[in-house]
Structure 1
Amino acid sequence: MHLLLPPSEGKAAPAAGRAFDLDCLSFSELNDAREKVLRALVETSKREDAGEILKVGAKGMREVVAQRDILNAPTAAAREVYTGVLYEAAQLHQGDGVLIFSGLFGVTTGEDLIPSYRLSMNVSLPGIGPLKTFWRKALAGWSPEAGFTKAPKPQAKNGRSVDDSATRESSIGGCDDTADVTVDLRSELYRVTQPDVSNARAHWWDVRIADSRNKTISHMAKHYRGLLTRALLDSPAQPVDEVARTLGATAIENEGNIRHLTLVPFGL
Structure 2
Amino acid sequence: MIVLLPPSETKRSGGDGPPLRLDQLSFPALNELRAELVAELGALSADVAASRRALGLTVKQDAEIERNATLTSTPTLPAIDRYTGVLYDALDIDSLRGAAAARARARLAVGSALFGLLRADDAVPPYRLSAGSKLPDRPTLAARWRPVLEPVLAEIAAQELIVDLRSGSYAGLGRVSGAVRVNVLAEHPDGHRTVVSHFNKAHKGKLARALATSKAEPDDAAKVATVARRAGMQVEREGDDLVVVVPA
Which range, TM-score by smaller chain?
Answer: 0.7 to 0.9
Contact between 1:40 and 1:126, CA under 8 Å: does it hold in 2? no
Structure 2 match to 1:79: 80
Residue 181 (str. 1) matches residue 161 (str. 2): yes
Partner of 2:97: none
**Superposed displacement of residue 68, structure 1:** 0.9
- Picking from 102, 108, 115, the partner of 2:118 is 108
CA offset digits 1:169-203 (Å, max 9, x no partner) = xxxxxxxxxx7322111111110333335xxxxxx
Query: Helix, strand or coil: the match of 1:208?
Result: strand
Counterpart residue identity of residue 9, structure 1: E
Q: 1:60-91, CA deviations, whole angstroms, 9 ceiling, x for partnerless residues?
A: 21121232121111101011110111111112
Shift of 1:96: 3.9
Tell me, yes or no, if the aligned pair for 2:27 and 2:152 is still in contact at 8 Å: no
Match of 1:124 in 2: 134
Amino acid in the other structure paired with 2:242: L
Q: Which of the residues 200, 203, 206 maps onto 1:227?
A: 206
Shift of 1:222: 0.6
The equivalent position to 2:182 in structure 1, one of 204, 207, 216, is 207
- Residue of structure 2 equivalent to 1:240: 224
Aligned length: 227
Match of 1:260 among 222, 241, 246: 241
- For the 8 Å contact 1:99–1:108, the answer to whether it is kept is yes
Aligned residue in 2 for 1:164: none
Instruction: Determine the C-alpha separation between the residues in 2 that align with 1:31 and 1:110.
Output: 17
The 1:35–1:128 alpha-carbon spacing in structure 2 relative to 1, beyond 3 Å, is farther
Alignment of 1:26-105 (within 5 A): 26-49=26-49, 50-92=51-93, 93=101, 95-105=105-115
CA distance in 1, matches of 2:48, 2:212: 44
Kindly, what percent of the aligned residue pairs are identical? 32
- 1:40, CA displacement in angstroms? 1.0
Q: Deviations over 1:27-84 (max 9, x none)?
A: 1111001011111111112113211211112232112123212111110101111011
Q: Deviations over 1:125-162 (max 9, x none)?
A: 12432112211122132226x3599xxxxxxxxxxxxx
Task: Label 1:147 to 1:241 Cα distance change in 2 as closer, same or farther (>3 A).
Answer: closer
TM-score (norm 1): 0.78
One-letter amino acid of the structure 2 residue matched with residue 195 of structure 1:
V
Higher helix share: 2
Deviation readout 1:86-116 (Å, 9 max, x if unpaired): 1111122453411211110000101000000
Change (3 A) 1:65 1:109: same
1:139 aligns with 2:137: no
C-alpha separation in 2, matches of 1:196 and 1:52? 34
CA distance in 2, matches of 1:63, 1:194: 28
Q: Which amino acid aligns with 2:141?
A: L
Normalising by the residue count of structure 2, what TM-score does the alignment of the two structures yield?
0.84
What letter matches 2:238 in structure 1? Answer: E
Residue identity opposite 1:87 in structure 2: Y
Alpha-carbon displacement from aligned partner over 1:214-240 (angstroms, at most 9, x marks no partner): 211111101110000001112241621
Q: Secondary structure at the match of 1:140?
A: helix
